[in-house]
Structure 1
Amino acid sequence: MRRSRPVRALLAGMTTAAVSAGLVVIGGGAAHAAAAGPAGSAPMPAHVAAPYFETWTGESPASLAAQSGNKYLTMAFLQTASPGSCTAYWNGNTTQPVSESVFGSDIATIQKRGGNVIPSFGGGLADGNGTELADSCTSVDSIASVYESLVTTYGVTRIDLDIEGDSIKNTAGIDRRNKAVAQVERWARHTGRSVQFSYTLPSFATGLAPSGVALLQNAVSNGARVDVVNIMTFDYWDGATHDMAADTKTAAAGLHDQLAALYPSRRSARLWGMIGVTEMPGIDDYGPEETFTTADAVTVENWAVSKGINTLSFWALERDNGGCPGTAGAGSCSGVPQSAWYFSHAFEPFTSGSRTKADSIPALASPSSTSAERAARGRRM
């Protein structure tokens, strides 16, 4: 998420590979022993709101989930401490391994409330410095083992792979990653677990760049089932002023057509059910030309219900307050007038999948007087 350089430069020069037909399921492969830890967690809902939580802030994800009304969070990011390593840590910090002692209590609390978290690998920094797991590690078995450890340690049922920057051009890393995904999916079937994988990818306002399509083509060729393709509908970096809600719709429609080419046997409703969108509330890194408003949030949630997409998300939960009107790309506030947790409240009803457009939606309120407490926090990615 949070790209560290303009996306247009990152996506330049990509080529489109030939589209593969259908999803090939490959059997066999190396077996992995199931590690001790929670098992049998409920699968993710078919329609879920899961905003990103910045794991480096020192805050409690369970506490912020409760305050904001979110049952599900996407926790970012996991990466290696240095290129060449096959060990993943939260934030690449060697004091934060994948362990029950690190976020285990928070995740268990969220699960007891009927929700779950989605651990996310990669992000703008890791994807640019060689510490994204599959870029760093050349062993498919080791990559798969790390993914499995998230499932057995925390009882999660979805893993997110945020691939952008240099990672989306690293064909060797892409191939290793997709082979590891397929391997974990075989392991999950053999051990009776529910595990989904989502790819979070940069997007144009018309859909994926050729690099994103090529990544998914590689997944198809490796027999890796991709459950959700989550597009970052912000930071277009094209010099234009955007209607962010309208461009979310066109980006998702373009993705739908790209998925139809990749999976020609799937009906339209199933393709929409593979799509996720991630917004950046308020004024994004590019500037006021890309401002996702409180009204946009209502529009996008209504549209998501009507299309039956899989996931609504935003970057990030720590920004969901009105503490810095007019500020672009702040790490701890949205830059627009809003009540605390406005965007969470606008998106959270989507989780049940049962809300109709006639149901109530949150009203715009004045900025929270407590939001200034987050003003000193920054974002690393």
Structure 2
Amino acid sequence: MRRSGPVRALLAASAAAAVSAGLVVAGGGAAQAAPAFRAPMPAHVVAPYYETYAGGSPAALAAQSHNTYLTLAFLQTPAAGSCTATWNGDATTPVSKSVYGKDIAALQARGGNAIPSFGGYAADTTGTDIADSCTDVSSIASVYEGLVTTYGVTRIDLDVEADSLSNTAGIDRRNKAVAQVESWAHRTHRNVQFSYTLPSTTTGLGATGVALLQNAVANHARVDVVNIMTFDYYDGASHEMATDTETAAAGLINQLAALYPSEKPSHLWSRVGVTDMPGIDDFGPAETFTTADAATVEHWAAAKGINTLSFWALQRDNGSCVGTAGAGACSGVAQSDWYFSHTFEAFTHSKWTWGKGRSPWSEPKPAPRQAERGSRM
């Protein structure tokens, strides 16, 4: 996903909002240690992207918008060739409890969690996605494991687009690293899921996205969620964005059925995630995801029993810049603050569940807490 400009709207009161909500925000209050073992992600989750490079407190905006899960974007290496991932590729913001640790702990205290996301358009066009940058599979796996041990997260998102989709060596390394982490998680009785966030056409993944998943199958890397970006089509056509979200997901299901022929259709749907862009996307008014589209997609997602609803990005969930395309701090359409968050919130209460909030691809129930072992960090 593309990086927007600096975000100013809605962030000025973040710290005050977090305090009033009883949250601990980055830079203040006592840190809450991340436990070694956490429950798996729920079968239905709403996890908007939060642009970490825009600053502010994820926990504060989560409290204001009633979100309990956020996808934090992005992690990348400071330079091509590095095997160290940092937030936003900034060496001063490493994977550490001192950076976003308090925000993630606040989400966990509210019953949610964070989903750290690697890659994104900027990393994927500069060779700074960890799997493109680092040529050692075990080092890539160590970076993924470090997020689990540092923050207590249970899902890692891999946003692969642009040049990274044609980097076959990076794709192979990434999937081998995923398989290593899943083996490590099994040995240490942890719940760790992986999602792939991939660009989509209105009829499903492109050939490079399918090839990436084929490589995952070949490497025995379990992909828990395939999250398609249903915006920025740039095909010059006018779009009814809710309809195109549905047709893109239907195409994805056909592609997943070919990859996983033994799986029932209902299980395939439970691997699906969709990410929309509220309001006017980067292409312009012809690709406008309206407030009515949000309600339509939420009802459809609940009926199909998909896994994840998301949008790019939480900082845009307000109507302060009507008519503006691709803005970083607002949607470009008339809406109340947090309209898209509140509309998608109903999805988490859907009747379509897989028993006790677990998806069919959840790891086994963790064993009683034990001494740390097997970590590369």
CA contact (8 A) 1:349 1:355 kept: no
Q: 1:238 aligns with which of 235, 239, 246?
A: 235
CA 1:322–1:355 in 2, change beyond 3 Å: closer, same or farther? farther
The residue aligned with 1:305 is: 302
Per-residue deviation at 1:349?
Answer: 1.8
Spell out the pairing of 1:49-88 with structure 2 (5 A cutoff). Answer: 49-88=46-85
> SS state of the match for residue 54, structure 2?
coil
* 1:282 equivalent among 279, 282, 289: 279
Q: CA deviation at 1:313?
A: 0.2
Aligned equivalent of 1:255, options 243, 252, 256? 252
Secondary structure at 2:118's aligned position in 1?
A: strand
2:105 matched residue in structure 1: 108
- For 1:258 and 1:113, the matched residues in 2 are separated by 36
1:355 to partner: Cα distance? 8.2
2:230–2:275 Cα contact (<8 Å) kept: yes
Partner of 1:177: 174
TM-score (norm 1): 0.84
Find the counterpart in structure 1 of residue 215 from structure 2. 218
1:202-249, CA deviations, whole angstroms, 9 ceiling, x for partnerless residues? 000000000000000000000000000000000001000000000000
Counterpart for residue 2 of structure 2:
2
Establish whether residue 120 from structure 1 lines up as the match of residue 78 from structure 2. Answer: no
Question: Does the CA-based 8 Å contact 1:80-1:136 persist in structure 2?
Answer: yes
Verify: 1:318 aligned to 2:315, yes or no: yes
Counterpart of 1:39 in 2: which secondary structure?
coil
1:273 and 1:351 map into 2 onto residues whose CA distance is: 13
Identical columns (%) = 74
- Once the two structures are superposed, residues 53-111 of structure 1 have per-residue CA deviations (whole angstroms, 9 ceiling, x without a partner) of 00012210000000000010000000000000000000000010000000000100110
The residue correspondences of 1:86-235 to structure 2 (distance < 5 A) are: 86-235=83-232
Aligned residue for 1:129, secondary structure, equals coil
Please, which runs of 5 or more residues in structure 1 have no aligned partner? Answer: 5-35, 357-381
Name the CA distance, whole Å, in 2 between partners of 1:355 and 1:59.
35
Q: Which runs of 5+ in 2 are unaligned?
A: 5-32, 354-377
Q: Does 1:349 align with 2:346?
A: yes
- In the alignment, is the contact (CA less than 8 A) between 2:303 and 2:352 conserved in 1? no
Q: Take 1:347 and 1:39, find their aligned partners in 2: how far apart are those partners?
A: 30
- Separation in structure 2 between the aligned mates of residue 85 and residue 173 of structure 1, nearest angstrom: 13
Q: For the residues of structure 2 that align with 1:264 and 1:325, how far apart are their CA atoms?
A: 46
Tell me the CA shift for residue 37 of structure 1.
Answer: 5.6
Structure 2 residue matching 1:125: 3-state secondary structure: helix
Contact 2:319 2:331 survives alignment (8 Å): yes
CA distance in 2, matches of 1:302, 1:40: 33
Match of 1:29 in 2: none
- Give 1:3 shift: 7.4
**Aligned equivalents of 1:339 and 1:182: distance in 2?**
43
State the shift of 1:170 in Å.
0.2
The CA deviation at 1:351 is 1.9
Aligned to 2:291: 294
What residue number does 2:11 align with? none
> Does the 8 A contact of 2:232 with 2:282 survive in 1?
yes
TM-fit CA distance, 1:41: 1.1
The alignment's TM-score, normalised by the length of structure 2, stands at 0.85
One of 39, 42, 49 as aligned partner of 1:42: 39
Aligned CA-pair RMSD: 1.3
Offset of residue 2 of structure 1: 2.1
Distance in 1 between residues matched to 2:51 and 2:346, nearest whole Å: 22
Superposed displacement of residue 348, structure 1: 1.4
**Structure 1 SS opposite 2:121:** coil
Q: Deviations for 1:237-276, whole angstroms, at most 9, x for unmatched residues? A: 1000000000000000000000000000000000000000
Question: Could you tell me how far apart the structure 1 residues matched to 2:192 and 2:110 are?
Answer: 20
CA contact (8 A) 1:276 1:309 kept: yes
More displaced stretch, 50-59 vs 276-285: 50-59
> Residue 268 of structure 1: which of 265, 268, 287 is its match?
265
**Given the alignment of the two structures, is residue 332 of structure 1 paired with residue 329 of structure 2, yes or no?**
yes
Secondary structure of 2:53 counterpart: coil
Is the 2:34–2:105 contact (alpha carbons within 8 Å) kept by the matching residues of 1? no
Amino acid across the alignment from 2:191: S
Contact 2:305 2:352 in 1 (8 A): no
Length, aligned pairs only: 325
Say if 1:72 and 1:37 are closer, same or farther in 2 by CA, change over 3 A.
closer
